[in-house]
Amino acid sequence: MIIYGIPNCNTVKKARTWLADQGFSPLFHDFKKQGITAEKLEEWCSAFGWEKVLNKKGTTWKKLSPEQQSSVVDQESAVQILLNHTSAIKRPVVELEGKAVLIGFDEEAYQTILKF
C-alpha cells in the first residue's frame, strides 16, 4: 500500500492515523518533495475522474489566476496544472497493489474498500 500526499495536510494526517490504527503501515510518497509523474496523474484521473483529482476547494486552486483556472477544461489540461501545482491534487491518494483505490479521506469508504 502506498499513500500519496503531503505530510502537513490535515486530511492526509487523518488518513495515515486511521490506517495505522487499523494495522496498516503504508509507504508514504510526499509528492511535494518526491514529485509526481504525468503517467501517475493520468492513472488517477482514469480511476476517479480528473474533476475529483483536481481539488478546486483548496487554497492552491484558489490562488491560481483566473486565466489558469479557466484553462482547465479536460483531463489533459488538468494534468498540466497538477504537474506544476502538486498541492492542487486532492489528497491523499491510496494505492493497493499499484492501483489507485481511494482519494481523500472518508472512513466509511476506507472500511469498504479495505474490507472491514
Which residues are known to be catalytic?
A: 9
Beta partners for 100? Answer: 95
**Rounded Cα–Cα distance for residues 77 and 97 (Å):** 28
Length reported for the chain: 116
What are the distances in angstroms from CA 41 to CA 11, 21, 29, 31, 60?
A: 19, 28, 14, 11, 17
List helix spans (H) across 25-106: 38-48, 50-53, 59-63, 66-70, 75-84
